[in-house]
Structure 1
Amino acid sequence: MDHDEWTDADFSKAKRLTQMPESFQQRIQKVRGPQKAPRKIQTTIRFDPDVLAALKATGRGWQTRVNDALREWLKQQT
């Protein structure tokens, strides 16, 4: 599928997704579908900025590695 490159005029007319009607935003934004068997619970945790930066610097999958490390720590506590 070929597309022409955007011109300055195209960029000047462009809008951010957040500036579009909400109904359009919902169609465009990727939403994760329901899991077949939900296994994880979404939560919020606060990290020091340097700790979070170091975790993210390890690349994709850092949250899974943190989860695994916490699971291992919990095993050692019993």
Structure 2
Amino acid sequence: MTGNEGNSGGSWADPDDAPEWTDDMFERAEFSIGDRVIRPANGTLTKPGRPKSERPKRQVTLRLDQDVLDKLRESGPGWQSRANEILKKAVGA
């Protein structure tokens, strides 16, 4: 029988390279014994992602002339947000 000699893909990190935990990190962390949660995590570590916006953007489909699209895209990453600002000014919002 042959053994698995392939690379597991994970990179090993020296635990000495990990940052030291602060008192604040300990206060926010989940505390559990085995599978039993004694104290759930609280604070910024409990919810992944951005906070909810009061006025979230909505996805729409919009057809633009190719030259307009090219001009917006040539400004680089974030062109969609810049296009949104241009449209807001145009409609007076």
Shorter-chain TM-score bucket reads: 0.3 to 0.5
So what's the TM-score if we normalise by structure 1? Answer: 0.47
Question: Considering only CA atoms, is the larger Rg found in Structure 1 or Structure 2?
Answer: 2
Q: Given the two structures, how large is their TM-score scaled by the length of structure 2? A: 0.41
Q: Name the one with the larger helix percent.
A: 1
Question: Which protein has greater RCO, CA pairs closer than 8 Å, 6+ apart?
Answer: 2
More strand by share: 2
